[in-house]
Amino acid sequence: MQIDHIGIAVKNMEEASATYEKLLGKPSYKTEVVDGQKVEAVFFEAGESKVELLAATTSDSVIASFIKKQGEGIHHLAFRVENLEKEIERLKKEGFELVHNIPRKGADNKRIVFLHPKKNHGVLVELCESIKP
The residues facing 129 across adjacent strands are 111
- From residue 67, how far is each of 59, 60, 61 by CA, in Å? 11, 11, 10
66 pLDDT tier (thresholds 50, 70, 90): very high
Task: Look at residue 129 in the predicted model and tell me its pLDDT.
Answer: 96
2-130 topology per CATH: 2,3-Dihydroxybiphenyl 1,2-Dioxygenase; domain 1 (3.10.180)
Separation CA 61–CA 81 (nearest Å): 26
Mean pLDDT of 86-100: 95
133 pLDDT tier (thresholds 50, 70, 90): confident
pLDDT tens readout for residues 4-63: 999 999 999 999 999 999 999 999 999 999 998 999 999 999 999 999 999 999 999 999
pTM to 2 decimals? 0.91
Cα-based torsion angle of the residue sequence 109, 55, 7, 29 in order, rounded to the nearest 10 degrees: 50
